Amino acid sequence: MVSIKQDIRIGFYVCHCGHNIASMVDCPEVARYVERLPGVVLSRDYKYMCSDPGQELIQKDIKEFDLNRVVVASCSPLLHEHTFRTAVAAGGLNPFFFHMVNIREHDSWVHTDRQEATAKAKALARAAIRRVAFHKALEVKQVPVHPDVLVVGGGIAGIHAALTLANAGKKVFLVEREPSIGGHMAKFDKTFPTLDCAACILTPKMSSVGTHENITLWSYSEVVKMDGYVGNYTVTVKRKPRYINEDLCTGCQECVANCIYKEPKFTDEFNEGLGKRKPVYIPFPQATPQVVLIDPDVCLNFKRGVLTDKCKKTCVEACGDRKAIDFKQKEQLIEIKVGTIIVATGFQAFDAKRLPHYGYGTYPNVYTALEVERLVNASGPTAGEVILRDGRQPKAIGIIHCVGSRDKKTNRWCSRVCCMYSMKLAHLLKEHTEAEIYNFYIDIRAPGKGYEEFYDKLNSEGVHFVRGRVGEVTDWSMTPEEEGKLVIRVEDTLAGFVRRIPVDMVVLATGLEPHADAQDVRRLFNMSCGTEGFFLERHPKLAPVNTFTDGIFIAGCCQGPRDIPDTVAQAGAAAAEAMVLIDKGHVEQEPNTAYILPDCCGCKSCLPLCPYTAITFDEATRKAVINEALCKGCGTCVGSCPSGSIVQNLFEDEEVFSEIEGVLAD
Amino acid sequence: MKYSYFPGCSLKGLGRAYEESLLPVMKHLGVELQELDDWNCCGATAYMAVDEAKACVLAARNLALAEKSGLDQIMAPCAACYLVLNKAKHYFHDYPAMKATMDRALGAVGLHYSGDTPVRHPLDILLNDVGLDAIKQKVEKPLKGLKVATYYGCQIVRPYATFDDQYNPTTMDRLMEALGATVVHYPLKTKCCGGSLTGTLPEAGIRLVYILLNEARKWGADCIATVCPLCQFNLDGYHSQVKAQYGGDVLVPTVYFTQLMGLAFGLSDKQLGLNRAAVPFKWRPVLPAEPTPVPAG
């Protein structure tokens, strides 16, 4: 057994945290118990240790009682370790002579028996008392922060974050997977509740991004690799070939007009498949960058994506001296260095085919909300005229809310925007068609500035609201009025009976969900995901744009469903958080790094294990070397070293073993 | 391929046309069936509604007998049997109290049920074990020109959708297409046939029957193909009541999917129980005008 060192003088403090801890743990009893442990000079219980008087108490005691170690039993170190280390330093001690015990998240909040919870608090405190005796004075190191920022995703979140940073003079790399930035917002017709035109407010920002001297825009590109640590990330970006030289293309689109295909005949992704495009195309009129691209899957000069050079290449002819078309273009990998990263990769809409009873894919006149956004849009496939897939104009329209939201069988969460966008579409469809419009809802969720008023407006416009989750959309009819219509069967829970409502068009208000590849992106940027698959913020209230990896921030719907105002606010916050690091210029590094003892035998078994590539081999001394700046203190090498020659600060053997002994002792 | 065959009461009684067509069709495809020795009521009908424990014990005895027979899978063609046997299995695994009841009852007669035996529906076996390709090869008289409304009823897809989609099942559609028939759009695939309401609350039951028949007629179906004896009985047996309640004949015949398979395989009508229906199904496949050329040599 490791015995307490002779000259150790420990001060112990147990925090009540109001009722948070004191209601389940007998704090005075814990303090009385710890007072008798070897090495403890004083032991107190106090209502709020994190308060100013609490911190001052520590400082005063250090001087008065000549303390050289401090232990606080309170909440999670994530919240207040920094606070107490600072207090200990202010008292004149090295901050690493402090140790924190979590008796709130690990004890009082998760137990229901006061006696057992108190016993557990004592055991945890005992472990900390034993461990802290072996703590050593350590130094915090400073590492410079690279001033450039990477923004991943060019929707409204990424655009706003990039512009905020660029306007503050920071250099930004904006990487977007699609050929143009704009994201989902670029597809919308109007925005709720003000009904201002989405393109009118978005496109000025898009073109600013395109022309900003501080922004390097890489569209049709993806991040494939990220290494490094806060302040010093190395990122590899894959630029997919668009078969157009972006620097030479002027966006004149002569090539599109002169393509060997006279008529557009391939699915137009931007119009949600409602329109057609050519193999050479620009996604939409305001696309940024304003350059075309070639789809090798359908271009005649390729066969199944492989260049055959068999087309007459009328496009090249049309391009003429500009020479922007380059069929030989290859995928390109570019490595950049940045200090901070903002992930704003957005969402995907729920696939309505997963709910076959709503008939999407079976009945042509069942639409998703995004399709309707394009259908009512002046630049959409029908130039804004609401013409159904069968050529008719609808006289009655049903909008079904919560498709793939608030549903245990698909996605449990509320997608937050669907009530509002459904009402917006109801208004627009009414305006375009004068049809009777029915909204089928579970609850109307309109909690935003001007949102409830918008709901009132819709009611006064004569839009019908039926409270009930729709059972099915079908085409079997019982009456002559239902013939040839889509029938919505729903229990009207306000009227108290089942209704059959015949309509010509059904709009499915599909919910928001994480991208199918969100897990890959999570791993790429070393983030976490919540149970539903959205990226996890460090703290739901107080660190909403931070992640658990320093220097990586999140904004927009990749963190959870939200509307445009909230997305923009969050993107601004993420930009500000990045600027905090950039303008401070350096980050402090936790000294819990590992180091190699002279006994290292040079077996190299630790080298491939390090996830941060922090270990190298010194050929001169035949020993491993750990780069402190790269080491994240994960401990993998420590555990694997066959000769026990790797030590980690704050996790040295005697610290860990005495902690274990402490928790197991009676 | 050999399965333990659990006919249940229907296939020996009102639904005997199902057995009469199922057995030769399976034999034709090389599927061996061994009727379960000493089987009893599956536990469906009123049992499940009145006393779940009794229903589960009845089902468990059949499952235990199937295990004892040494065949590792049981085929239950009747939709009600299929559902109850699966439900008993589900209860056995998920509800310890019900498992104890089942164990105790079986123990009293010296039987044991392990909970493993898969309960399979013929559609499942035909599509997943036999395979559509093997079935296509056996088609001698394609059902060319026959328009079929495929009607699955509620019990083989709900609540346990083990081999097909809950809302939009397609196994029978694919089977019918493999036989050469045309499957018409039928939005009522899994809707209620009226169940026992045709007897207990005729007004409601007959309404459901009418909706099913009328919709099939509207979409141009020559017949409704079913997998369930009760569906067949309701859709076939209440035409006069439908006429009385809704003022018009909706004489769409309802046949078992196995009867259509038999016709396509070229089996004789008499083997397939086609004479038993109240609304006769008169359509017969004609052989292709030109016989398939025989390769020389």
Q: List Cα–Cα distances, A236 to A336, A484, A549, A662, in angstroms.
A: 6, 55, 18, 47
Nearest to B167 among A357, A476, A478 (CB): A357
User: For the purposes of burial, counting CB atoms within 10 Å of the CB of A77, is it exposed (0-12), middle (13-18) or buried (19 or more)?
Assistant: middle
Non-local (6+) Cβ contacts of A129 within 8 A are A10, A12, A34, A37, A39, A40, A71, A662
Over 80: is that where the pLDDT of A216 sits? Answer: yes
Q: What is the mean pLDDT of residues A266-292?
A: 95
How far is B278 from chain A, CA to nearest CA, in Å? 25
Q: CA A560, CA B177: separation in Å to the nearest integer?
A: 45
Q: Does B168 touch chain A (CB under 8 A)?
A: yes
Distance of CA A380 to the CA centre of its chain: 30
A-chain CB neighbours of B151 within 8 Å are: none
DSSP one-letter code for B54: H
Nearest to A356 among B167, B188, B215 (CB): B167
Note whether A356 contacts B188, CB cutoff 8 Å.
Answer: no
Cis status, amide bond into A289, omega within 30 of 0: yes
Over residues A112-132, the pLDDT tens digits come to: 999 999 999 999 999 999 999
The angle, 0 to 180 degrees and rounded to 10, between the axes of the packed helices B96-108 and B52-68 is: 60
Mutate to test the interface with A, among B213, B215, B217, B245 (most CBs of A within 10 A): B215
The angle, 0 to 180 degrees and rounded to 10, between the axes of the packed helices B257-265 and B16-28 is: 40
**What is the secondary structure of A526-581 as a DSSP string?**
T--B-TTSSBPPSBTTTBTTB-SSTTEEE-GGGSS---HHHHHHHHHHHHHHHHHH
Extract the tokens encoding B128. Answer: 């997943």
Distance of CA B134 to the CA centre of its chain: 20
Nearest to A476 among B167, B168, B188 (CB): B188
Chain A residue with the nearest C-alpha to that of B210: A478
Nearest to B187 among A355, A474, A478 (CB): A474
In the prediction, which pLDDT does A4 show? 55
User: For the purposes of burial, counting CB atoms within 10 Å of the CB of A358, is it exposed (0-12), middle (13-18) or buried (19 or more)?
Assistant: buried
User: For the purposes of burial, counting CB atoms within 10 Å of the CB of A563, is it exposed (0-12), middle (13-18) or buried (19 or more)?
Assistant: middle
Over 90: is that where the pLDDT of B290 sits? Answer: no
The angle, 0 to 180 degrees and rounded to 10, between the axes of the packed helices A114-132 and A27-35 is: 40
* 3-state secondary structure (DSSP) of residue B141: coil
What is the pTM (predicted TM-score) of this model? 0.85
Q: Please give, one letter per residue, the 3-state secondary structure of A380-422.
A: CCCCCCCCCCCCCCCCEEEEEEEECCCCCCCCCCCCCCHHHHH
Q: What is the mean pLDDT of residues A222-234?
A: 93
HSE of B135, CA atoms in CB hemisphere, 13 A: 26
Chain B 83-122, residues with CB within 8 Å of chain A CB atoms = none
A-chain CB neighbours of B187 within 8 Å are: 474-476
Over residues B18-37, the pLDDT tens digits come to: 999 999 999 999 999 999 99
How far is B74 from chain A, CA to nearest CA, in Å? 30
How far is B167 from chain A, CA to nearest CA, in Å? 6
Over residues B92-112, the pLDDT tens digits come to: 999 999 999 999 999 999 999
Q: A274 with A365: CB under 8 angstroms? A: no
Q: What is the mean pLDDT of residues B181-200?
A: 94
Q: B112 with B67: CB under 8 angstroms? A: yes
Chain A residue with the nearest C-alpha to that of B188: A476
Select the more confidently predicted residue: A166 or A2: A166
Nearest to A478 among B167, B168, B211 (CB): B211
Q: CA A29, CA A317: separation in Å to the nearest integer?
A: 88
Per-residue confidence band for B295, with pLDDT thresholds at 50, 70 and 90? low
User: For the purposes of burial, counting CB atoms within 10 Å of the CB of A496, is it exposed (0-12), middle (13-18) or buried (19 or more)?
Assistant: exposed
Note whether B168 contacts A357, CB cutoff 8 Å.
Answer: yes
Does the structure's ipTM exceed the value 0.85?
Answer: no
Over 60: is that where the pLDDT of A252 sits? Answer: yes
Q: A251 with A291: CB under 8 angstroms? A: yes
B-chain CB neighbours of A474 within 8 Å are: 187-188
Q: A154 with A208: CB under 8 angstroms? A: no
Q: What percent of chain A clears pLDDT 70, i.e. is strictly above it?
A: 99
Q: Does B211 touch chain A (CB under 8 A)?
A: yes
Extract the tokens encoding A657. Answer: 């073993």
Query: With left for phi above 0 and alpha for psi between -120 and 50, is residue A484 left, alpha or beta?
Result: left
Chain A residue with the nearest C-alpha to that of B168: A356
* 3-state secondary structure (DSSP) of residue A318: helix
In the prediction, which pLDDT does B288 show? 65
Note whether A475 contacts B168, CB cutoff 8 Å.
Answer: no
Chain B 214-253, residues with CB within 8 Å of chain A CB atoms = 215, 218
Q: CA A577, CA A493: separation in Å to the nearest integer?
A: 47
Q: CA B282, CA B288: separation in Å to the nearest integer?
A: 19
How far is A470 from chain B, CA to nearest CA, in Å? 14
Q: CA B297, CA B287: separation in Å to the nearest integer?
A: 25
Q: What is the mean pLDDT of residues B163-188?
A: 95
Chain A residue with the nearest C-alpha to that of B217: A476
A/B interface, count of CB pairs below 8 Å: 17
User: For the purposes of burial, counting CB atoms within 10 Å of the CB of A264, is it exposed (0-12), middle (13-18) or buried (19 or more)?
Assistant: middle
Over 60: is that where the pLDDT of A2 sits? Answer: no
How much is the CA Rg of chain B, to the nearest whole Å?
20
Note whether A356 contacts B187, CB cutoff 8 Å.
Answer: no
Q: Does B22 touch chain A (CB under 8 A)?
A: no
Mutate to test the interface with A, among B168, B189, B190 (most CBs of A within 10 A): B168
Over 90: is that where the pLDDT of B72 sits? Answer: no
Strand-pairing partners, residue A609, are none
In the prediction, which pLDDT does B183 show? 98
Over residues A588-638, the pLDDT tens digits come to: 888 999 999 999 999 999 999 998 888 999 999 999 999 887 888 999 999
A-chain CB neighbours of B185 within 8 Å are: 475
Per-residue confidence band for A175, with pLDDT thresholds at 50, 70 and 90? very high
Using beta carbons and an 8 Å cutoff, which residues of A are at the interface with B? 355-357, 362, 474-478
Q: A570 with A555: CB under 8 angstroms? A: yes
Q: Report which secondary-structure segment, H or E, holds B57.
A: helix B52-68
In the prediction, which pLDDT does B74 show? 96
Q: CA A348, CA A515: separation in Å to the nearest integer?
A: 5
Over residues A391-440, the pLDDT tens digits come to: 999 999 999 999 999 999 999 999 999 999 999 999 999 999 999 999 99
Per-residue confidence band for A18, with pLDDT thresholds at 50, 70 and 90? very high
How far is A478 from chain B, CA to nearest CA, in Å? 7
Over 70: is that where the pLDDT of B297 sits? Answer: no
Nearest to B215 among A355, A357, A476 (CB): A476
Non-local (6+) Cβ contacts of B20 within 8 A are B271, B272, B273, B276
Note whether B168 contacts A362, CB cutoff 8 Å.
Answer: yes
Chain B residue with the nearest C-alpha to that of A475: B187
Cis status, amide bond into A364, omega within 30 of 0: no
Per-residue confidence band for A78, with pLDDT thresholds at 50, 70 and 90? confident
Over 60: is that where the pLDDT of A99 sits? Answer: yes
